[in-house]
Amino acid sequence: MQARRLLPTLASALAAAAVLTGCGTTPAHPDQTVARPDVSAPDMVPATTPPPTTPPTSAAPSPQCLAPGVTLSVGEVDAAMGLRAVGITLRNCGAATYTVQGYPDVDVLDADRRVLDVTVLDGTSNVAMIERYDAPPKRVTVRPGGTAVAVLVWRNLTTDAATVAKGAYVSVAPAGGQARHVLALDVDPGNTGRLAVSPWTAP
Domain ranges, ordered by start, for the chain: 2-23+25-34+62-197
Q: If you average pLDDT over every residue of the chain, what do you get?
A: 80
Which of 9-13, 45-49, 149-153, 160-164 shows the highest mean pLDDT?
149-153
Q: Which residue has the higher pLDDT, 38 or 155?
A: 155
pLDDT attached to residue 13:
56
Q: Which residues of 18-36 are buried (b: 16+ CB within 10 A; e: fewer)?
A: beebeeeeeebbeebbebe
pLDDT attached to residue 57:
42
pLDDT attached to residue 14:
57
Check pLDDT > 60 for residue 77. yes
pLDDT attached to residue 23:
42
Measured distance CA(201)–CA(197) in Å, rounded: 12
Query: CATH assignment of 2-23+25-34+62-197?
Result: 2.60.40
SS3 state at 76: coil
Determine the residue type at 119: T
Evaluate whether 34 touches 182 at the Cβ level (below 8 Å).
yes
Burial of 157 (C-beta count, 10 Å sphere; 0-12/13-18/19+): middle
- Please report, for residues 100, 146, 153, 190, the alpha-carbon distance to residue 106 in angstroms, rounded to integers and kept in the order given: 15, 21, 12, 18
Q: Which residue has the higher pLDDT, 8 or 143?
A: 143
Check pLDDT > 60 for residue 187. yes
Q: What is the DSSP string of 178-197?
A: S--EEEEEEEEEETS-EEEE
